[in-house]
Structure 1
Amino acid sequence: MTMVLSDNKWAGWIAVAIGFSIPISTSLDNILLALLLALWLLEGRFREKVSSALDNPIVIPALMLFGIYVLGLFYGVATWHDALGSLKKAANLLLILVMIPIFKEEKLRHFAIWGFLGAVCLTMLLSYLIWVGVIEPNNFFKGDQDEPVVFKLRITHSLLMAYGAYLFLLKARQCISKPSGILFGVLALAAFYNVFFMVASKTSYIVALALGVYFIVSHWSWRSTGIAVLFLMILFGTIYKLPSSTPHQRVLLMYNEAKQWQPGQSDHSSTGDRLEFLTNSLRLIRENPIWGAGTGGFKGAYAALVKDTKMDPSDNPHNEYLMVTVQTGVMGLGLMLWLFIVQWRMAPLLPDSFDFLAARGLVILIVSASLVTSTLIDHTEGLFYVWMSALLFAGWKSAGDQGARPCRSPL
């Protein structure tokens, strides 16, 4: 009994530490995950743990989505190397089943959120120090003054910073103490400034705007809406009036790249590549619409499609919806959307308004980011999604449970 309790305790703190590690170190992520899984296996009691996890409504959709990747091993065009590599990435979904029972303790969920926000604050501080030149370019950090990223590359850095900014807004809204509310508000503004004006990522612009709009709607009042609209007008006006600003340059570049793109002609621009991936992926989907090309089949199917053309092969369409549908057809796409819908609908049954809105924000992040990047196959984005899903939804209670107090929102 003592051993079981000890394993539970250590597994809980390792799960908390993963939240701090995700924005900082892939190597540390892998070490912590290996330790967590080892403790989970050594503890035993598999029937009890799995049964506890299956009571949670997001676990079945996650397992079924993973299951269709297992099924996809037995058909399609992928080599075993590519198929098993794709299955390994999809296996992150199993971590939801592993971590939900661990995070049922409210104290651990509390520490985990603060661990993640602490890592965001550390990243933001270092990013600003790089930006102003206090920290010079070095081998430890990835950025410089022109692009002050720290531990992760541009897209990943900005996505985590945008979600961190959203959580700071929720904390500011929740605070009873005015000084604490002001502090969280300042942190939110600093994080959003980092996203929009310091680190250039079109993906994060989409995510940050989507999160900002939802935050406004979820706290609907004429006063707050008026302030938010005024803020957005000032933001967009500033971007428009400052042609040298990072957002202005990125949006203008995207427009010019889209204008110059020609179907069938690889132009090696970011926007042009994405348009090419879109058109070619849709052609692949039409060839195998129901079940797709099989797990890991995107690379081989795409290579066959562009053979003897001027287009380059690719193993990533930079769009999670395309990646899933090319490999597993509309069956896989439907399961992924089902998972997102279940999370959206079950969020009001989380313990308090912070968890509810944080969960809705997580869905908004994954849905919007997946339009322009393959979120579930990227290590940091995929691990962050499953870790935060387990963390937030571990506190779920069914509507019939005593003590369940559903949160309410206009959406």
Structure 2
Amino acid sequence: MQKQIDYKKYISYLLIGYAFSFPISKAATNLFEILAILLWIVEGNWKEKFALYKNNLLSITIALLIGFSLLSILWHGNAELTFRYVAKYRHLLIIFVFYSSFDNKYTSHIISAFLLSMFLSEIMSYAIFFELIKYKNISPNDPSPFMSHMTYSTVLAFTISILLIKLFYEKNLKYKFFYILFFLTATTNLFINGGRTGQIIFISLIFFTIFSSMKDKIKAFISSFIIVLLTFSLAYSFSENFDNRVNQLYTDFNNVITHNNYTGSGGSRIALTIVGVDTFLDHPLLGTGLAYNIHNITVYAKAHNFNAQQISRFADYHSTFLTISTQLGIVGLLISLLIIYVLLTFKIKNKEYKLMSLLFGISFIIFSFTHNTFHTMNPMIFFALFTGLFNTIQRLETQHEH
């Protein structure tokens, strides 16, 4: 009698490889993603799979995003552009693979594979920073080796929060010492890089993690305040990159308030938000359709006396939620709100994973307000990997209860 293939086991192995590859190699991540999806297709059991998906809010939200994006062809007309745009959503299929075909016993392996890979990425970052090696055209002043500095800083901030959770829950002193060391080096790495988004996320996560993990809330507030204050003081004193980025942000916002000047990096983001809100209000029902460029950006820029040439350089609103809302109207806004809701409401009983899921939700929401996270590969992988994992933990915990 022929032995039946254990698809779940092999798909789980591929997902561990996927988690490990994500921080360090796009090519390897793509390979593991394709193999996992192919094996998921070959696995079959589609009746059972669809029964699972139709009762899961995250699966419904992703299906709604893809389905309504395709449906928008009917009123926006450009089928080729729409298909090319929606093709990028293929990275989100991993969420469905996780939900129906991942074996829960490998959950800790996913986290460990991701942390190990981030550790290797961090070593590479320090090697570039100290000019021990040259890698591509990456500057020692902004040593983000395998991702854009905004994505790297966000993923690094989330990594730091996982390490902090591990510190609270780990009993073995040997591992505790490793997590402390990794926490310190990762935090330092965050502040020698140029991603301000990750640094903002870091503050939010430190406060949230310590408040959630300590019973005495006054001590929790004091501890988190001291950690954040000490970290930022050291970063401002010793990291030239951090010093420059903070001063630049202050200058940008000061120019907006006192001189009505939106040309700086921070000012441009404010201008893009104003343009995006106006665009949504002008096309609230059906949106402007899927596109690689902002709809009538020059017209909106001139209406507000923004520098049209400066603003028209941007291809999107630097906000996932604003981009989806303007492209798909009221339904886009609903999908955006559902994504936020789903990220913050995974019903996980394991305290460690529950806290991780909340911290991931906070990380990704802040990240998505500063970047179009559903249109570039690494942010989408970040989303698919961790929402896929936490969504599955939620399902399997409920299943074991019954």
Report the CA distance shift for 1:243/1:184 in structure 2 as closer, same or farther (over 3 A).
Answer: closer
> How far does residue 193 in structure 1 lie from its aligned partner after superposition?
1.4
Residue number among 277, 287, 293 corresponding to 1:292 in the alignment: 287
CA change 1:233–1:7 in 2 (3 A) is: closer
AA at the equivalent of 2:82:
A
In structure 1, what is the equivalent of residue 84 of structure 2? 85
Matching residue of 1:67: 67
Secondary structure at the residue paired with 1:299? Answer: coil
1:387 matched residue in structure 2:
385
The equivalent of 1:167 in structure 2 is 162
Q: What residue number does 1:408 align with?
A: none
Tell me the CA shift for residue 304 of structure 1.
Answer: 6.1
Count residues in correspondence: 394
Is 2:197 the partner of 1:203? yes
**Alpha carbons 1:316, 1:323 under 8 Å: kept:** yes
Task: Please list the CA deviations of residues 250-299 of structure 1 after superposition, one character each: whole Å capped at 9, or x if unmatched.
Answer: 111012123335999873x3223222212221221111123311233753
Structure 1 alignment gaps of length 5 or more = 405-411
Q: 2:229 matched to 1:233?
A: yes
Distance change >3 Å, CA 213–CA 271, structure 1 → 2: same
Q: Offset of 1:55 from its aligned partner?
A: 4.1
- 1:277 maps to 272
Contact 1:297 1:327 in 2 (8 A): no
- Code of the residue aligned with 1:107 in structure 2: it is K
Relative to the length of structure 1, the TM-score reads 0.86
SS of the residue corresponding to residue 85 of structure 1 reads helix
Q: Deviations over 1:188-220 (max 9, x none)?
A: 121111112x10111111211121121122113
Q: For 1:90 and 1:303, locate their aligned partners in 2 and report how far apart those are by CA, in whole Å.
A: 28
Tell me how far apart the structure 1 counterparts of residues 98 and 158 of structure 2 sit (CA, whole Å).
Answer: 21
Letter in 2 for 1:137: K
Q: Deviations over 1:21-69 (max 9, x none)?
A: 1111112222222222222222222112232344444222222233222
The answer to whether the Cα contact below 8 Å between 1:320 and 1:373 also exists between their aligned partners in 2 is yes
Pair 1:180 & 2:187 matched: no
Structure 2 Cα separation of the partners of residues 329 and 62 of structure 1: 17
Q: Which residue pairs with 2:348 in the alignment?
A: 350
SS in 2 for 1:388: helix
Deviations 1:4-29 (A, max 9, x none): 62443322211111111111111222
Q: Is the 8 A contact 2:40 2:101 kept in 1?
A: no
Q: CA deviation at 1:385?
A: 0.6
* TM-score, normalization by structure 2: 0.88
Equivalent pair of 2:294/2:316 in contact (CA under 8 Å)? yes
Q: Structure 1 residues 184-193 or 330-339, which shifts more?
A: 330-339
Once residues 398 and 137 of structure 1 are traced to their aligned partners in structure 2, the CA distance between those partners, rounded to angstroms, is 45
- C-alpha separation in 1, matches of 2:260 and 2:330: 26
* Per-residue deviation, 1:162: 1.1
- Cα distance in 1 between the residues matched to 2:210 and 2:143: 29
Q: Which residue of 1 aligns with 2:188?
A: 193
Q: Which moved more, 1:242-251 or 1:111-120?
A: 242-251
User: Is the CA contact 1:100–1:394 (under 8 Å) kept in the aligned structure 2?
Assistant: yes
Contact 2:373 2:380 survives alignment (8 Å): yes
> Which of 182, 190, 212 is the matching residue for 2:206?
212
In 2, the alpha carbon distance for the partners of 1:212 and 1:223 equals 14
Task: From the superposition, tell whether residues 313 and 124 of structure 1 become closer, same or farther in structure 2 (CA, over 3 Å).
Answer: closer
What is the percentage of aligned positions where both structures have the same residue?
20
Can you give the 5+ residue segments of structure 2 that lack an aligned partner in the other structure?
Answer: none
The residue number in structure 1 matching 2:124 is 126
- Alignment correspondent of 1:336: 336
Residue 34 of structure 2 is matched in structure 1 by 34
Alignment-derived partner of residue 154 in structure 1: 149
Matched residue type, 1:24: I
SS in 1 for 2:290: coil
After superposition, the CA RMSD in angstroms is: 2.8
Q: Which of structures 1 and 2 has the larger relative contact order (alpha carbons within 8 angstroms, sep 6+)?
A: 1
Q: 1:113 to 1:42 in 2, by over 3 A?
A: same
